Chain A
């Protein structure tokens, strides 16, 4: 929640080879646009004054999802300790959009970056769903060592970028 927490979050992301930037809401759409590789799909961003850039297809079809290189979704919150983004699972489709394309761009409000996993669990319990919703703690890039060496980008994204919205 503090600058320190965001700093820690960014350091954790860097260690996972996930890039990040902290931007004011007014510049967010432009920065998201710069962070995507085409073709890109996305789900609605619930942050005031922030919308998906035109180049990103909102409400994609399965065909568009399959062809997309980048998926843009909001994160409900983030955990600084591990560089984790919490992706909800709603009818808007954050789950498939954050999962299918090879590059995931997550957008999170600075005020939603919590310090550690314990705070993350507190957030789950505080929410409307009181721990009865569906959420994924996604940390870093999809990986496997099953083929005789560590490889990133297996079934999930092999690249990640996080846009942190500065507090207003």
Chain B
């Protein structure tokens, strides 16, 4: 643990990806993300559609064994075959047999039988191409991106855009090397034309067409393929044998259930209102198969007169999905429709691409669920920490999967799978958490218990700050718990917010100070999160002053950590204990009608999102509905008659740049802050970057420092021209202050009355 070599290897690998594939991926993924947002905004009933889609998937997975039987019956009735494959080897062997039988029938007119494929992540998952090639079959991918990947002998870097990490120049180079063509490759159109001709010929010659399926309709046996190029249509209907390979989770009950997905999938994947081709194919179809060689090439295609010589095989793949279905935490992964929206919305994915943020087959946030479920926990371990829990994928997912939670759970399981480290006693002595002896790595326990660390550092400030700034200590911190020595450490205040408040007379004095203007008859408990309490004390003081000036008396009790830090390290047991402790201490205040006001958005997000999984339902509801983000609260007070003149106001059009916090955005709480800034005479401009990249402890860690700074720089670039910048999250402020080299306060510090 002390000199974990994998940490520097990870750093090196990610740095390489940042400089190579990340450069190509970032503009493409962020453009897709922006298009997805715009396409979502066009839908008046977006939330209803997402809820519908979610409900259909929940129901389908619940009834999965029954749907498998239904589809088996109907496909067989239609004249096709259904094979449920237990695992990759089983599926591959079945498909190889189908191809072999076509060959043995003499229907193949080449030495080696040939197969054309349309893009399918499921066949990537089982490495079907390799398996068929070992059996002497020629396999051609016909989706252009997938074909490029096949030529390059690489793995897809994105669920939807497999070659997203390759530049046009690199693709041209690859194709020149492979095909030595007579034509010039200057433009994307040149490359596309070459691919169309080459692959068109492969399709016309092929013996078997293999497709995936976006959805399989159980009660009709309809295979739905959503594509833009048209290759899936050709692969499915040109050769007389069609094999569709789909995970069992692709089943939906009936054709009516398809509509919300058709409405959503193109929007979430590429920002289109609908894809070019939504093929609903109920094979074997009456559409004539096409023989471009031999005597049939000059017979009318209608000559068969509807007499179908078609063969159809539906291969439904289990490969761990049944076990996922029985796993309460991983089940949600099966609702995934593989649109890649979670990848596009993710700053870390944008920085390193799917070869960094991805496993054997799948990439992006949802990959943790897929890889852990299909290939085992270890397959997810390598990239799982790249999910910082920023939650920007939560709004992007068309089926409302709580992707950050899946990442937290898998991280927890990975932690527990490890042997307790040799340095555990260091943290054991320091932090009474629930992970003792469980194998949770030292660095995670350090960051997961940051409140205890901060309390100690504050008590010993400024000595602790001075010590922490010295070379030997930074080297030690880097070696033991992996804090990158390039990262500025927080400066701990000797007097905490709680102590300052008490020194100024506590709640009683606050009541007196709040006797101004109209009585609003509200009282607030300010939650002193770790950073506000020990580091960013100024924003806590500004909050107290603001609330009092608006007529709301405040109390600032010493309260437990929210568990946010523990959650981000995958320490769910510790977070669970913190949640119960905190709720226990706040319950009396809530019962007394006091409002809980929170400055740090990540803590509020814990109250409003994760606590649903940690607290009894009634407790969660009470805390959720009585807690407020500070600017949301101020907005409410102003709406209810509080005097805006009590705040520090500007002249009406003073520009201010505002970076909301990622989790705050997911809670839809960016707007109240901009509204309050406007009412106070500012013209706020908000940022487009999804997250600052700091994400609590992430940016401190040696292996992720460069990734963090890369994301931060995208944000800093947006803000460079702004004279005044504010940010809601403490991490965002730290990151921006380092990169912009000037103060980035919380909005409340700008709005609070001077005193």
Nearest CB in chain A to that of B299: its residue:
A61
Closest to B217 in A: A131
A14 near B: Cβ within 8 Å?
no
Q: Is residue A117 contacting chain B, with contact meaning CB distance below 8 A?
A: yes
Select A135's contact among B143, B192, B280, beta carbons within 8 Å.
Answer: B280
How distant is the Cα of A91 from the Cα of B256 in the complex, in angstroms? 25
Q: Would you call the interface of chain B mostly helix, strand, loop, or mixed? A: mixed
B281, A66: Cβ atoms closer than 8 Å:
no
Beta-carbon contact of A154 and B233 below 8 Å: no
Q: Which single member of A99, A134, A140 contacts B285 (CB below 8 Å)? A: A134
Q: Are B274 and A137 in contact (CB under 8 A)?
A: yes
Taking the complex as formed, is B637 at the interface, i.e. its CB lies under 8 A from any CB of chain A? no
Among residues of B, the one whose C-beta sits closest to the C-beta of A88 is B287
Of the residues B204, B228, B285, B301, contact of A144 by C-beta under 8 Å:
B228
Check B301–A146 contact: CB distance below 8 A. Answer: no
Please, how many angstroms separate the alpha-carbon atoms of A114 and B234 in the complex?
27
Per the 8 Å Cβ criterion, residues 222-239 of B in contact with A are: 222, 228-231, 233-234, 237-238
* Chain B residues positioned under 8 Å from A89 (CB to CB): 237, 281, 285-287
A147 to chain B minimum Cβ distance, whole angstroms, is 4
Chain B residues whose CB sits within 8 angstroms of the CB of A95 once the complex forms: 233, 237, 285, 287
| B residues 250-308 touching A (CB-CB < 8 Å) | 254-256, 258-259, 262-263, 273-283, 285-288, 290-292, 296-302, 304-306
Q: What residues of chain A lie closer than 8 Å to B287, measured between beta carbons? A: 89-91, 93-96, 134
Bound CA span A99–B236, Å: 12
Is B368 engaged at the interface, CB distance under 8 Å to the other chain? Answer: no
Q: How many residues of A contact B (CB 8 A)?
A: 52
Residue of A82, A129, A154 with most chain B CB atoms under a 10 A cut-off:
A154
Docked-complex contact A156 and B286, CB < 8 angstroms? no
Instruction: Determine if B143 and A66 form an interchain contact, defined as CB atoms under 8 angstroms apart.
Output: no
Query: Does A121 touch B at the CB level, under 8 Å?
Result: yes
Q: CB within 8 A of A65: which of B166, B171, B256, B290?
A: B290
Q: Which residues on A sit within 8 Å (CB–CB) of B142?
A: 155
Segment 48-84 of A: residues with Cβ below 8 Å from B: 59-63, 65-66, 81-82, 84
* Residues of chain A in range 114-168 having any CB-CB distance to chain B below 8 Å: 117-118, 121, 124-125, 129, 131-151, 153-157
The answer on a CB contact under 8 Å between A60 and B276 is no
Check if B187 is an interface residue, CB within 8 A of chain A: yes
Contact of B301 with A148 in the complex, beta carbons under 8 Å: no
Closest Cβ of chain B to A64, distance in Å, is: 9
Q: Which residues of B sit under 8 angstroms from A125, Cβ to Cβ?
A: 255-256
CA distance A34 to B448 in the complex (A): 72
Nearest CB of chain A from residue B156's CB, rounded to whole Å: 11
| Contact residue among A59, A63, A91, A100 (Cβ-Cβ distance under 8 Å from B297) | A63
Q: How far is the CB of A66 from chain B (nearest CB, A)?
A: 6
- CB of A132 within 8 A of CB of B220, answer yes
The minimal Cβ–Cβ distance linking A10 to chain B, given in whole angstroms, is 17
Cα distance A28–B280 when bound, in Å?
Answer: 29
Stretch touching chain A among B194-202, B320-328, B414-422: B194-202
Closest to B194 in A: A147
**Docked complex Cα distance between A130 and B348 (Å):** 46
A144–B147 Cα distance when bound, in Å, is 13
Given A65-B301, A89-B287, A151-B189: A141 in contact with B292 (beta carbons within 8 A): no
A142 contacts B300, C-beta separation under 8 Å: no
Instruction: Report the bound CA distance from A134 to B200 in whole Å.
Output: 23
Assembled-state Cα–Cα distance A108/B726 (Å): 57
B709 proximal to A (CB < 8 A): no
Give the docked Cα–Cα distance between A57 and B3 (Å): 75
Contact in complex: A147, B195 (CB < 8 Å): yes
Q: Is the CB of B233 within 8 A of A150?
A: no
Cα distance, A145 to B189, chains bound together (Å): 10
Report the separation of the CA atoms of residues A4 and B633 in the bound assembly, to the nearest whole angstrom: 47
CB–CB B199/A155 < 8 A: yes
Q: Which B residues from 108 to 155 make CB contacts under 8 A with A?
A: 142-145, 148
Within 8 A of A (CB), among B83-131: none
B213 to chain A, nearest CB (A): 14
Whether A147 pairs with B290 at a CB distance below 8 angstroms is no
On whether A96 and B299 interact (CB within 8 A), knowing A136-B280, A144-B229, the answer reads no
Specify which chain A residues have a CB less than 8 angstroms from the CB of B192 in the assembled complex: 144, 147, 151, 153-154
- Residues on A with C-beta less than 8 A from B291 are 62
A136 close to B300 (CB less than 8 A):
no
- Greatest chain B CB density within 10 A among A133, A151, A155 is at A155
User: Known contacts A91-B306, A125-B256, A131-B254: does B276 contact A141 (CB below 8 Å)?
Assistant: yes
Cβ of A149 and Cβ of B168 under 8 Å apart?
A: yes
A18 to chain B, nearest CB (A): 11
Please give, as numbers and ranges, the residues of chain B lying within 8 Å of A148 by CB-CB distance: 166-169, 171, 188, 191
Q: How far is the CB of A119 from chain B (nearest CB, A)?
A: 11
Let me know if A155 and B196 touch, CB within 8 A: yes
B442 within 8 Å of A by Cβ? no
Query: Are B229 and A131 in contact, with the CB atoms below 8 A?
Result: no
Q: How far is the CB of B379 from chain A (nearest CB, A)?
A: 27
Contacts of A59 in B (CB 8 A): 300-302
Q: In the complex, are the beta carbons of A117 and B274 less than 8 A apart?
A: yes
Check: B163 CB closer than 8 A to any chain A CB.
yes
B231 & A155 in contact (Cβ 8 Å cutoff):
yes
**Bound-state Cα–Cα, A92 to B142, Å:** 26
In the assembled complex, the Cα of A81 lies from the Cα of B220 at a distance in Å of 26
Asked if B298 and A155 sit within 8 Å, CB to CB, the answer is: no
Asked if B359 lies at the interface with its beta carbon under 8 angstroms from chain A, I say: no
Question: Residue-by-residue, is B451-489 near A (CB-CB < 8 Å gives 1, otherwise 0)?
Answer: 000000000000000000000000000000000000000
Q: Answer whether residue B712 sits at the interface, using C-beta atoms and an 8 A cutoff.
A: no
For the complex formed, measure the closest distance between the CB of B239 and the CB atoms of chain A, giving whole angstroms.
12
Please tell me if the beta carbons of A137 and B277 are within 8 angstroms of each other in the complex: yes
Q: A99-B234, A151-B192 are in contact. Are A124 and B255 (CB under 8 A)?
A: yes
Asked whether, in the complex, the Cβ of B220 is within 8 Å of the Cβ of A91, the reply is: no
Interface string of B205-247 (1 = CB under 8 A from A): 0000000000001001110000011110110011000000000
Complex CA–CA separation, A121 to B254 (angstroms): 12
Nearest B residue to A59 by beta-carbon distance?
B300
Does B161 sit within 8 A of A, measured CB to CB? yes
Complex Cα distance A60/B303, Å? 10
Residues of A within 8 A of B144 (CB): 144, 146-147, 154
Asked, given contacts A63-B297, A91-B287, A142-B228, whether A132 binds B191 with beta carbons under 8 Å apart, the answer is no
Q: List 26 A-B contacts (CB under 8 A).
A: A59-B302, A61-B297, A62-B298, A63-B297, A91-B288, A91-B304, A93-B287, A94-B287, A96-B238, A96-B288, A96-B290, A96-B301, A121-B256, A131-B222, A133-B282, A134-B281, A134-B282, A134-B286, A142-B229, A143-B228, A144-B144, A144-B228, A146-B161, A148-B167, A149-B188, A156-B230
For the complex with contacts A95-B233, A137-B280, A154-B229, 17 further pairs of A-B residues with Cβ separation under 8 Å are A62-B298, A89-B281, A91-B286, A92-B302, A125-B256, A131-B254, A134-B285, A135-B280, A136-B279, A139-B277, A141-B276, A146-B143, A146-B161, A148-B166, A148-B167, A148-B169, A155-B200
**Which A residues are within 8 Å of any B CB, using their own CB?**
59-63, 65-66, 81-82, 84, 89-96, 99-100, 117-118, 121, 124-125, 129, 131-151, 153-157
Leading 6 A-B pairs by shortest Cβ distance: A148-B168, A156-B230, A149-B188, A146-B145, A131-B255, A91-B306
